[in-house]
Amino acid sequence: MPPAPSFLARGPWAPEDVTFTWSERPYAPTPRETEEADAAIAALKARRSPSHDGLSTRLARHEVGPDGRLHLELQPARWALRLLGGAARSMTAQCVVRDHEGRWLAGRRADWVAQWPGRWTLGAGGAVDPGESPMHTLRRELAEEWSVAPARLSGEAMLLLPNDMVMFVGVAWLPEGAELRRDHEHDEHDWWPASMDDWPAHADAPLRGLGALVSRSR
């Protein structure tokens, strides 16, 4: 079994409960990180995956106030650092999606994408853009990947993954009658049953762990 992520903070948070400040001073990678990032970009080009490089967001510091609100100190960092085994606390957001019946939206990533090719994921996810709240990232990724907007949206946890990437996890509940339009980064999707006991065999341990993490959200 792969190492489990650890909690940096635990919600739930409404969108207005997550605030941030943005530093204009970018993260300075080590020479080794720079070399490995260059190699990772070259590897993407070799397999004809998207290999654009630019700025992403990293978590410099966070604080949970007495009222439970989450404040983040964010700064720009080279996007390619997200591809490394030690990801310098680059931030990603994962929006788990459920419909009005409690079913879970699962999508299989296309083989050509840069991260997690060929793997099933829950909902929508991607990098937190510079100057963006991760709560906004959840909503934006949902619109970009599935062309839908949530009826309700909550932040559930902020995790430190074994590769040193920070994942902000939220849940979007879709309104009754919502119609999906799958983007080109997924080659298949499905609605998994509300009960995790009835999920298919390809729902692996990390996905089940993510589902268990947010299953209390209503």
Rounded average pLDDT over 144-156: 96
Q: pTM, whole model, 2 decimals?
A: 0.90
Q: Which helix (H) or strand (E) holds 187?
A: strand 186-192
**How far, rounded to the nearest angstrom, does the alpha carbon of residue 105 sit from its chain's CA centroid?**
15
Percent with pLDDT over 90 in the chain: 67
Question: pLDDT tens across 16-43, in order?
Answer: 999 999 998 999 988 988 988 888 888 8
Confidence of residue 1 (pLDDT cuts 50, 70, 90): very low
Question: pLDDT tens across 39-63, in order?
Answer: 888 888 887 777 778 888 999 999 9
Rounded average pLDDT over 132-153: 96
C-alpha closest to that of 94 among 147, 164, 153: 153
Q: Is 150's pLDDT higher than 90?
A: yes
Question: Sign of the CA dihedral 7, 153, 94, 72?
Answer: negative
Q: Is 2's pLDDT higher than 70?
A: no
pLDDT at 53: 82
Listed as own residue / partner, the contacts of 135-142 with beta carbons closer than 8 Å and 24 or more positions apart are 135/13, 135/15, 135/18, 135/168, 135/170, 137/93, 137/95, 137/168, 138/93, 138/94, 138/95, 138/168, 138/170, 138/172, 139/95, 139/172, 141/93, 141/95, 142/95, 142/97, 142/172
Q: Cβ(91)–Cβ(74) under 8 Å? A: yes
Q: State the average pLDDT for the chain.
A: 91
Rounded average pLDDT over 109-131: 89
**Per-domain boundaries in the chain:** 6-214
Q: Is 69's pLDDT higher than 90?
A: yes
Please state which CATH number belongs to domain 6-214: 3.90.79.10
Rounded average pLDDT over 111-139: 90
